[in-house]
Amino acid sequence: MAIPVIDFSKLDGDERAKTLAQIANGCEEWGFFQIVNHGIPVELLERVKKVCAECYKTEREPLFKDSEPVKLLNELVESGGTEKKLDLDWEDVFTLYDDNEWPTNSAEFKQTMKEYRQELKKLAEKMMEVMDENLGLEKGYIKRAFAPDGQPFFGTKVSHYPPCPEPDRITGLRAHTDAGGVILLFQDDEVSGLQCLKDGEWIDVQPMSNAIVINTGDQIEVLSNGKYKSAWHRVLAKRDGNRRSIASFYNPSLSATIAPAEDSEVYPKFVFGDYMTIYSQQKYQPKEPRFQAVSAM
C-alpha cells in the first residue's frame, strides 16, 4: 500500500472535480498524500537540494558528530545496555522563519531558501483553498481563521537524518501528529524512512522525485470537526544514507483563536499559542489529552 499521488495541475482543467475528490480522499482517509505538477519549478527544487546538502556538509555535520544523540547512543552501546530504545531523535535540524537568524552565511542558501519559502507559502494557501471547497467552507476560510491579523506562522524545518550505526536503538524522529495546519514536505528522492500510520499499520511515504508530500496537523482536525484527522507519522533511523527532508509548516498565528467551523461536541475552542505550550511538553503523546488540556485553560 502506498499513499495517494495526485496530479495537482489537473485542478485547472476538465478533471477538476475528480482531482478535488482525490484530495478529499487523501485528507479524509489518509491525512497524507503526495502532489506532483504542483507548479514549483524543478530548477528551484534542484537548487534547494544543492544548498541544503552543502550547508549540511560544511556546517552541520561537524556539529552532529558532537551532538547529544551521538553521545548517548555511543554510551548505550559501550555500556552494553539492554535498554531497547533511546527516547531521542537521530536528526540534525534547524528551522527558518521570516525573521530568524540564518544558520549559514551562504548568500546562495539565503536567496534560494527565501525564494523556496515564498513559493511554498503560496502553494499552502492554494491547498487550503482546495480544503475550503472540499469542506463546504467559504473560499479563504482557513486562511482567515489561521491569521485574522494576516500573519500566519510559517516555518521551514530543514532536517537531515544521518546514517545511524544502531537503527534499532533510536528513531530518526519519534512518532507524533503535527500541531499546526498544513505541512508541505520536500523529502529525499532516494533515502526512505518516513512512515505514516493508516488503520493501525505503518506505511512508507515512498520517495518520489520532485513531489511534495502534504499532511494535515491538529488545527485542521479541529477546524474540520474531525473530518480531516491529523495522522501519526515517524521517521526511522537508517544504517545507510543521509536522508534530507524540508518540511514547511503553515500554522495559525500564535494569537489566533481556533475552533471547529461548525458546532462541535468533540473539539474545543482555544488560542493556538496555548495549544503550542501544551504541545511542546506532549508532542510525542496522543493529541486527545492536548485538546482536553487546552479547553481547560
Ligand X SMILES: O=C(O)CCC(=O)C(=O)O
Residues 89-108 that bind ligand X (CB under 6 A): none
- Burial of 63 from C-beta contacts in 10 A (0-12 / 13-18 / 19+): exposed
Alpha helices (runs of H) in 195-282, residue ranges in sequence order: 218-223, 272-282
Count residues near ligand X (CB under 6 A). Answer: 11
Distance CA 196, CA 204 (A): 7
Q: Binding to ligand X by residue 157, rule CB under 6 A?
A: yes
Residue 173 binds which entry of ligand X, Fe ion, none, CB below 5-8 Å type-dependent: ligand X
* Residues facing residue 164 across a β-bridge: none
Q: Closest separation between CB of residue 245 and ligand X, Å?
A: 3
* Site for ligand X contains 248 (CB under 6 A): no
Name which of 132 and 178 has its Cβ closer to ligand X: 178
* Nearer to ligand X among residue 135 and residue 220 (C-beta): 220
Nearer to ligand X, 137 or 158 (CB): 158
Residue placing its CB nearer to Fe ion in the complex, 47 or 234? 234
Q: Which of 19, 22, 134, 159 binds ligand X (CB under 6 A)?
A: 159
Q: Rank residues 180 and 260 by Cβ distance to ligand X and give the closer one.
A: 180
Nearest distance in Å: CB 173, ligand X: 6
Residue type, 154: F
Q: Would you state the cell numbers that stand for residue 208, as one nine-digit string? A: 518520489
Phi-psi group of 237: left, alpha or beta (phi > 0 → left; psi -120 to 50 → alpha; rest → beta): beta
What per-residue string of b and e applies to 138-173 under the rule 16 or more CB within 10 Å gives b?
A: eeebbbebbbeeeebbbbbbbbbbbebeebebbbbb
CB of 247 to ligand X, least distance (A): 5
CB 261 within 8 A of CB 224: yes
Residue 133 Cβ vs Fe ion, minimum distance, rounded to whole Å: 25
CA dihedral 288, 291, 293, 297 (to 10 degrees): -170
Q: Please, what is the minimum distance in Å from the beta carbon of residue 209 to ligand X?
A: 16
Backbone angles phi, psi at 122, to 5 degrees: -65, -40
**Helix (H, G, I), strand (E, B), or coil: what is residue 228?**
coil
State the cell numbers at 177. Answer: 501528529
- For residues 132 and 178, which CB has a smaller minimum distance to Fe ion in the complex? 178
List of residues contacting Fe ion (CB under 5 A)? 178
Would you give the binding string for ligand X spanning residues 185-204, x where CB under 6 A is met?
x-x------x----------
Which residue, 91 or 119, is less far from Fe ion as judged by CB? 91
Per CB under 6 A, 178 contacts ligand X: yes
Interface residues with ligand X (CB under 6 A) are: 157, 159, 173, 178, 185, 187, 194, 233, 235, 245, 247
